[in-house]
A and B are shown apart, each in its own frame.
Chain A
Amino acid sequence: MDLTLSPSEEEFRDEVRSWLQENHPGPEPAAGLDEVMSFRRDWQLKLHAAGWAGISWPKEYGGRGATMIEQAIFAAEATRQEAPAPANVLGLAMGGPVVIAHGSDEQKARYLEPILTGEEIWCQGFSEPESGSDLASLKTRAVKDGDEWVVTGQKVWTTFAQYAKWCMLVARTDPDAPKHQGLTYFLMDMEQEAVQTRPLVQITGEGEFNEVFFEEARVPDANVVGGVGNGWAVAITTLMNERAGLAFGAISQIQNSLGRLSKLARETPSGGGTAAEDPYFRQRIAQLHIEVETMRLNAYRGLTKTMQSGIPGPEGSLGKWQWADINQDLTELALEIEGAYSMLARGSEHAVAGGAWQYGFLRSRANSIEGGTTDILKNIIAERVLGLPRLR
């Protein structure tokens, strides 16, 4: 057992740390998603030039070939320094790894480089209005027409669809096959009339996500990834890839939030002193620290296990579940500390911390829904970790 970094890992961390310090572009533009995206495109170019885009990708495909521990170090360090996200998050974390794992040589030559530079943004077309947790029941149809497929249907929760060149689209190509077997994974060109996107306004009032409508949209047969009928297996690889590096970034992000929460408590009057002196708030804050620490240590235990076995196990679901719980508790506690002032939202003169916690409270409601709902994660844990019988 050794919870310290090896000398070469420490060297890697120091390199990441000093590069980020020297190249950090400062905070993101406060308003306007277009401005934010163009800021993130510039940042990704800078990352790519220094070899930090696609660090998990093998070197032969333009990546850094970093070990899992190095990926974890990079994610933790970037979040700790509050570096912006690259513009093409989904292409780097999911699209590229899928093309590398399942794509043809032509596909690798065509798609990988523009993912790394951020020149082409990717989005993910999985969920549908009637297929959320039961993803394999999706209805978007793709019908063969010569050397093309004709796609009709609707996707939802599509982040960055309005900026995307490519959509990782899972569609039903064989309506008669059992539901997991009739699916195919396509790379759909979003720049065509038959594809329309509409922002989906969420409870925060923002439109991070979109609905995407396909009305006989065309996709060439050459854009099938992993073979016709193999869509489910290919999609699962994407979801596995999503988890590994994200965990450590998520933990650093919560550590940052916890630091801000402690500051809020120290600065907020409560009783005769501050909230940081109030025994009730002290207990709650301490409990959050304890849970974040257990999540961090669990993630390292999981990483050790994954490095030995080569594949992330279903235990990763515990971390996603716990992350959602903690993020929600944390923002709920912040509003409790603010007390009556928690009624004021962003843009209000007397809102505490510019209303950031009110926004965080609302945004975190989705944490137990996005990327696998907590209820479904509990099913996965019960069935695949504990071996309990399936309900279905």
Chain B
Amino acid sequence: MYFDLNDEQQAIKSTAHDFLGARFKSERIREIAASEDGFDDAGWKEMAELGWAGLALPEEWGGQGLGAVELAILFEEMGYALAPSPLLSNTIAGLALAAGGSDEQKERWLRPLAEGSLRGTPALIDAGGPAEPMKFSMQPGEALTGTKTLVLDAGSADFFLVATADGGRHLVEKNAEGMTVTAEESIDPTRRLFSVRFEGVRPAATLSGSGEEYHPVFHRACVALAAESTGLAQRALEMSVEYAKDRQQFGRPIGAYQAVSHRCAQMLLETENSRSAVYGAAWAADAEPESLPLAASTAKAYASDAGWRVPDAAIQVHGGIGFTWEHDLHFFLKRGRANAAMFGDAKWHREQVAEAVLAGETAPASA
């Protein structure tokens, strides 16, 4: 029993922390957020050099072969830095290729993806549908027709993994005939969303996986995203504590008042709970896969709430200045709120937990 990062994991954390802190200062994030395509090519190249594009992808296909715990560490730091990057969508596409692709498909798309020279993104949600995880309505076939929406980072992706009603994944390259990519206006300007219209588009490949293989990919994606939300909460908490120590009103730092200090204590509780749930789930993904679905839903449900509520509380601690565009907090609130709704919201994940625990057998209590 040892529930903490080991030395190697600690090193990944501090490398990520230092690199991201230096690369994504407030001015740079604002430039990227205000740019036409929202994509930071120089930042991507540096991340690829650090091996992050393939961090949790198999070594034999050019990845680093690390696990979900290391992925969670990296994404917690990505959230802390509010890094605008297609790393999340690219990682999910890579995990799906690794889970369902043939050797030939992996050689052709996974290897360059893991090395950072090609970027992929999943196209999952059918426009107009219920946007429920792992349920798709687009019909499979030699040609794909329909609209996928809420597609992450489509503007800078080289290929799409398109999900169909049978649970399959079809690889479509960016310049395929019959495909139109349209930018949506996301509440989070640091992560862009798109709609992709397919009109009789012929996929470059169909992965051999039939659906089940992608469930662990989905659960890992939930854990990575929950880790990112934990990082957002951690940063918002730290900003609040600093501010509450400095800001004077009625002749004292506002952090001396319990209305403020108890709010900060609540933020810490939610951040620590979120972190524990994330690392519990990440550990399960690597070491105890049978408990991953419940652990991932636990983490995603908790972090969905904490990831926006903690930045929201941070705005209240900051008062008027926290409501200005000039202050960075609104970016954290917006990212946290978007994360809350992505890959199943808290309500959806709580229902998965209810399904598991109300069946009559409770989760076995370790130790």
Q: Which residues of A contact B (CB under 8 A)?
A: 1-6, 9, 13, 69, 72-73, 76, 80, 248, 252, 255, 258-259, 262, 265-266, 276, 279, 282-283, 285-287, 289-291, 293-298, 300-301, 303-305, 308, 315, 318, 321-322, 375, 377-379, 381-383, 385-391
Contacting residue for B277 out of A9, A290, A378, CB 8 A: A290
Please state if B253 and A76 are interface contacts (CB–CB under 8 Å).
no
Q: Is the beta-carbon distance between B283 and A1 smaller than 8 angstroms? A: yes
Q: What is the CB-to-nearest-CB distance from B333 to chain A, in angstroms, rounded to a whole number?
A: 21
Of B3, B353, B367, the residue contacting A304 (CB under 8 A) is B3
- Per CB-CB distance, the 4 closest pairs between chain A and chain B, nearest first, are A382-B261, A297-B276, A294-B273, A282-B354
B23 at the interface (CB under 8 A from A): no
Task: Tell whether B214 is near chain A: CB-to-CB under 8 Å.
Answer: no
CB distance from A179 to the nearest CB of B (A): 21
When distances are taken between beta carbons in the complex, the residues of chain B under 8 Å from A255 are 362, 365
Question: Which positions 338-367 of chain B face chain A at CB distance < 8 Å?
Answer: 347, 350-351, 353-354, 357-358, 360, 362-363, 365-367
- Residue pair B357, A298 in contact (C-beta under 8 Å): no
Report yes or no: B5 in contact with A298, Cβ–Cβ below 8 A: no
CB-CB under 8 A from A4, the residues of chain B are 1, 287, 366
| A1 in contact with B69 (CB, 8 Å) | yes
Q: Secondary structure at chain A's binding surface: helix, strand, loop or mixed?
A: helix
CA distance A301 to B3 in the complex (A): 5
Decide if B79 is an interface residue (CB 8 Å cutoff).
no
Residue contact B253 to A389, C-beta cutoff 8 Å: yes
> A262 to B362, Cβ gap below 8 A?
yes
With A76-B365, A290-B298, A378-B261 as contacts: A300 and B354 at CB distance below 8 Å: no
Is the contact region of chain B dominated by helix, strand, or loop, or is it mixed?
helix
Do residues A294 and B276 form an inter-chain contact, with CB atoms below 8 A? yes
How far apart sit A279 and B354, CA to CA, in the bound complex (Å)? 9
The docked-state distance in angstroms from the alpha carbon of A379 to that of B258 is: 7
Check A385/B268 contact, CB under 8 A, given A283-B351, A285-B354. Answer: yes
Q: Is the CB of A375 within 8 A of B262?
A: yes
- CB distance B261 to A388 under 8 Å? yes
Number of A-B contacts (CB under 8 A): 178
Taking a contact as CB atoms under 8 Å apart, the answer to whether A1 and B269 are in contact is no
Q: Is B139 an interface residue (CB 8 A)?
A: no
CA gap between A179 and B234 in the complex, in Å: 37
Contacts A296-B366, A297-B279, A382-B258 known; 15 new A-B pairs at CB < 8 A: A9-B1, A72-B367, A259-B362, A282-B354, A285-B357, A286-B354, A289-B354, A293-B280, A294-B273, A297-B280, A298-B273, A301-B3, A322-B273, A388-B260, A389-B252
In the assembled complex, B4 has its CB within 8 A of some CB on chain A: yes
Given contact pairs A262-B358, A289-B353, A318-B269, A391 touches B1 in the complex (Cβ within 8 A): no
Contact A386 B241 (CB under 8 A): yes
**A73 contact set on B, CB distance < 8 A:** 367
Residue of A with least CB distance to B273: A294
Q: In the assembled complex, which residues on chain A have CB atoms less than 8 Å from the CB atom of B358?
A: 262, 265-266, 276, 282, 285
Among B350, B358, B360, the one with the most A-chain Cβ atoms within 10 Å of its Cβ is B358
Q: Complex: how many Å from CA A384 to CA B363?
A: 35
The reply to whether A293 and B277 form a contact with Cβ atoms under 8 Å apart is yes
Residue from B4, B258, B362 in contact with A1 in the complex, judged by beta carbons closer than 8 Å: B4
Q: Note all chain B residues with C-beta closer than 8 A to A294.
A: 273-274, 276-277, 298, 302
Query: Which residues in A have their C-beta under 8 angstroms from that of B277?
Result: 290, 293-294, 297
List the B residue with the shortest CB-CB distance to A293. Answer: B298
Nearest B residue to A76 via CB reads B367
Taken together as a complex, chains A and B put the C-alpha atoms of A104 and B362 apart, in Å, by: 48
